[in-house]
A and B are shown apart, each in its own frame.
Chain A
């Protein structure tokens, strides 16, 4: 009898403890040490290694609590009955010993209270029936316990299955929160938005008195001494299951020490339109050529190529609009882009810019019909030359009205090529070699300007750059760029003169999040028959979330 009750107690304890065991272990504790688990058949063991999201977790906890309660009730009930039985047994035992020992042990008169028991005559059969009854009960309880265990096991397995197929990423919940813990609002993977800040600065020395007439880019070093090139805050994340959103807000300090703020990009991108289509809407860099959509900190050089500054503008070609792109269902990558944007403003430099080009004064233009928007079609394709070499080719055009007169249009067209070799045994992404080249042409219908004495004519210009970056050793990149642009009519400074430029540089990346770059520019300004030498020391840091790199 004792053995039986012990077994029962052990059983109860086991079920109970396994429940509480799972219950407590489902919360991943800081010490995730565990014995080898059988992921396939493991029930309790598997469960303690499964990490799940909060909703599911709470659901499981609820279920388990229900179960625990049930088991507790059972235990209570069981214990009560066990107690009863034990009492009965004790009584019976006593009786038996009394009946058997009665001969040797003369009944003591002092045991008067117990004497009452003696009134119940103990018969062998009766004793046997009680034992039988108890045995029956034992098997009954055994089967009931088994049943409970089975349902419990199956439910646990079910839950496990659910957890295993749950698509949520691992969310490491490090126990319950207590008031002493810091509240993290923006930790990676735990917030709705990734935030990063990028600071890009340059120190410049030059033979040119005015660097602003030499450097074409709005983020280029603009004076002897220091330049704040770009202070960029990036917000990025999934908007909902359908869109991804991104915003790049730029702070800058100009030559005169004035701070200003600029919305460089803010757009959403569709994640899964049918027919391989994708929409981007907001204000964003136009998908024209290779370099234009890249932010300054991702450039391989401290300044932007001359042709980009001259045709696409100091701040790059960007405006509010919509872009539709289509991924061709081919085996190699081919994508078609079509962008419609506003055609006015200084970020549409060769178009309806308030500062008209070629010495003309801007006339007031407005959008009269669809053709007064800026349209940019682009096609790009990529293939793998070898296992380690990839080529990306593209062709783009941008057309829209310009501000030198009514019905005056501009067309920019370009070809671009990006080639990259990267070792199969690359460590930290090194070693690699990239070669990037762009050629652009511009057809500009310059309107008549009576005041300036300029007549109606069509200007054709072109320019090109080609650059190589060689990551020769981990953290070190050597670069070389050649630039050429032809001369613009009515040009007054190197920004419009025919010129070529050679720029070697060397960049050191202490880590992925910082860089130091030394660059030399040799400028040969054919238009004014002069040469200029400039040296830039650029440095960058990145705080916050790790953005994904484009190819």
Chain B
């Protein structure tokens, strides 16, 4: 698996999905091309998916919000007969390296969360219209929809067969959503999750696994009627025209460094480090949202978001050895604040809302990235508002103190804005500052009082916003030693430690998915019972059963 996985796609390149737009309703068809897997060695039979299928889905969901804001209801359905979706492709999983499996699951989880949240974030409601087998990851797709409709043809069922069939978990939110979202009684959930064939018809509704069970002959019609009803009841404002998301330009250098217009990823493979430098805006902020909309995907706040998002995804999947991500910014903090303010002041404008919600997702993506992360607040940087959130997302933050010899850039500052106090929550539903100051809530209030001030190092340290401030004498050495030390630790222990320290505070469904479910799944993904030469995943399809070590651990 050495080829570069590209997350950039557009409808002209889709092999697995298509959308029919019909006013406020979009019919989204899953029609996986079995010969178009991302890697060789497996066929995507029965609408099973791999990362390539999910990259397209993520693109569909993203474009739905930016390019098709008139859509209020999305009906996810299968274009294939007798099968909704058979879940993640088992042979792909069986053949994939552990790291790919984990990153695959993380990305699919993020995509599920994205369309699940589309209703509350953007007023786009997703319906799963299930006809035929809806198994494993297939049911997890449906579970992440806001409304599940199942046909009652006495054959179609929903199921999570991972445990009995494959000796792994329904790890894309399956176990969690069954109990936390659908609120299925736990003993029934226990039966459901250990029964290969799942549950169909009325019982699926009784058990809360689906919202509606509909006679087969009336199914298609009822689905469309329901979609129209939901659309009519939608509080989403009518928007006639979306914007276009044009392809993102980037160049990848020989050494793996990636250049976007606003994001520079410098890769030092020998140091197992990637430095991500974000450029502040050069142009003035658009005068109003009309001007912003006219700029479309060229507007700075959206342009940057897309490039940064792509950079993070690229690093996750294609640069597995880059164990340390270092974030830097360079630009004018006031100008960034002006660009951000336009969105924050017009948060009820559909496009401002979409861009802000997109930033919320990107920051969450950074939160759950399994790399050590640090930020350097250098002279000339623009860690303002949304960009300042990166400081509270990463594991450590270092800030330059006082003037540096021969450095004539403006003094390093941090500027807090309203964006740091509500609109960009973490998966635990708290802001990053609330999470940071879990034991001293008054620190959040103090920080809030400093909104709009360009905080220099001492003030930032006083407010607890940075890990360490360093002057000209210490800066270089301290940073170097930190980075070298960090790169020398066991990556496994780092991932585990960071994931535990980052998400203090209350549990939510999302934290349970990324924490509990993912951690258990990744443990199982390392155990011989699942992935050993005689384990269930390897043996799946051979007719031989997994050979289990029956010792309980």
A associates with B:
no
